């Protein structure tokens, strides 16, 4: 990985970020040396199970790290801002205008006591010098953009009057109000039904084409990243264990966790009944993470060194890298035989 002045080349560049939550029972190391970058107009998928740090990573980019949490190392750059030394005031200016977020649960992320119109206008009036009437016009435009009929009527309605899919469309409208450069979608469809999920994903792809923003798609659904994302980062216990283009991750997975995930999902298109191959064991307890590679206790190919030390990064191509001792070993053996390092 070349890390020199990445922040000038990329829209988002996170380098060696460490973030911990200092709770009464001890330090929870949510992020351990996370590095990633997003180019303008690109869709990056972050995949991982609950507690792997996928949301925390993107929230820290917006200065939304919740209270006992603190960034304790690394550099975060977004669109020329050095996130580490930004003040709350600067964050407020940036949020909503340059960077926006869609949360998982549209039922709870809209304010129930304000109308839809009120909530969309709020963003517009905060970041532009439009007056209420102009903001209202823009709000109507936005609702049409996200495929909501009768925008005039909807603007006067409260969130409880809309269905889940509609609410998520409103969330997207709010997020897009100021045409941000980066949209963070934090499990935007987990709370929705599959047919509604298909509508929302379709809408996001369409809007991305129209507006050209970059998207960070946080999800645990490999199906969603397969169809949407350009690149994927797989997270486990606060580490990016593997990162690569969508094809690299799906067709040449290198990390045992990625391989395990791909093996463990049932396939709709297979006619014969093959048993699923689960990843055994339980998720990591972040309060007492295992020494060495966090995945080692659940890994099928665990070696002694895995339990002792965190593996270094092995690079396969410009885009594809993983943190796994097994790949180090293969590489070393390959080199010893004078063969190709792959």
Residues that bind another protein (CB under 8 A): 49-50, 163, 165-166, 193-199, 201-202, 220-224, 226-227, 246-247, 250-251, 260-262, 264-269, 271, 273, 275-280, 282-283
Nearest to 177 by CA among 202, 211, 148: 211
Residue 215 CB partners (closer than 8 Å, separation 6+): 42, 43, 44, 182, 183, 184, 185, 204, 208
Q: How far is the CB of 66 from another protein (least distance, A)?
A: 21
Q: How far is the CB of 228 from another protein (least distance, A)?
A: 8
Nearest to 176 by CA among 196, 206, 156: 206
Q: How far is the CB of 304 from another protein (least distance, A)?
A: 24
Q: How far is CA 277 from the centre of its chain?
A: 26
Q: In the complex with another protein, which residue's Cβ is closer, 38 or 232?
A: 232
Q: In the complex with another protein, which residue's Cβ is closer, 250 or 316?
A: 250
Q: How far is the CB of 271 from another protein (least distance, A)?
A: 6
Q: How far is the CB of 282 from another protein (least distance, A)?
A: 5
Q: In the complex with another protein, which residue's Cβ is closer, 90 or 163?
A: 163
Residue that is written with structure tokens 């047919």 in the block: 195
Q: In the complex with another protein, which residue's Cβ is closer, 251 or 334?
A: 251
Q: In the complex with another protein, which residue's Cβ is closer, 152 or 280?
A: 280
Task: Give the pairing type, strands 69-78 and 182-186.
Answer: unpaired
Strands (E), 190-340: 214-219, 231-236, 239-245, 313-315, 321-323
Q: In the complex with another protein, which residue's Cβ is closer, 141 or 280?
A: 280
Q: How far is the CB of 237 from another protein (least distance, A)?
A: 12
Residue that is written with structure tokens 């002694």 in the block: 304
Nearest to 163 by CA among 153, 177, 148: 148
Q: How far is CA 67 from the centre of its chain?
A: 21
Q: In the complex with another protein, which residue's Cβ is closer, 163 or 317?
A: 163
Nearest to 306 by CA among 321, 326, 288, 286: 326
Residue 206 CB partners (closer than 8 Å, separation 6+): none
């Amino acid at each position: 990985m070349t890390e020199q002045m990445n922040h000038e080349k990329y829209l988002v560049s996170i380098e060696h970020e460490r973030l911990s939550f200092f709770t009464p029972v001890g330090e929870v190391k949510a992020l351990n040396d996370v590095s990633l970058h997003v180019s303008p107009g690109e869709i990056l998928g972050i995949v991982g199970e609950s507690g792997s740090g996928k949301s925390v990573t993107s929230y820290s980019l917006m200065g939304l790290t919740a209270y006992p949490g603190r960034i304790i190392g690394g550099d975060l750059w977004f669109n020329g801002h050095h996130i580490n030394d930004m003040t709350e005031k600067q964050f407020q200016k940036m949020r909503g205008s340059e960077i926006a977020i869609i949360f998982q649960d549209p039922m709870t992320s809209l304010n129930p006591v304000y109308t839809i119109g009120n909530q969309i206008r709020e963003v517009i009036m905060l970041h532009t010098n439009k007056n209420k009437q102009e903001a209202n016009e823009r709000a109507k435009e936005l609702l049409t953009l996200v495929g909501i009929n009768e925008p005039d009527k909807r603007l006067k309605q409260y969130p409880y009057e809309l269905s889940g899919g509609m609410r998520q469309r409103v969330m997207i409208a709010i997020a897009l109000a100021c045409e941000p450069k980066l949209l963070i979608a934090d499990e935007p469809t987990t709370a929705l039904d599959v047919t509604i999920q298909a509508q929302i994903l379709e809408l996001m792809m369409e809007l991305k084409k129209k507006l050209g923003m970059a998207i960070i798609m946080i999800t645990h659904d490999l199906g969603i990243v397969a169809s949407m994302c350009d690149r994927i980062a797989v997270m486990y216990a606060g580490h990016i264990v593997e990162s690569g283009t969508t094809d690299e991750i799906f067709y040449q997975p290198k990390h045992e966790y990625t391989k395990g995930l791909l093996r463990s999902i049932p396939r709709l298109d297979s006619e014969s009944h093959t048993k699923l191959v689960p990843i055994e064991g339980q998720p990591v307890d972040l309060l007492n993470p295992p020494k060495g590679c966090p995945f080692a206790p659940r890994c099928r190919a665990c070696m002694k060194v895995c339990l002792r030390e965190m593996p270094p990064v092995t690079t396969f191509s410009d885009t594809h890298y993983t943190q796994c001792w097994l790949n180090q070993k293969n590489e070393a053996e390959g080199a010893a035989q004078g063969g190709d390092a792959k």
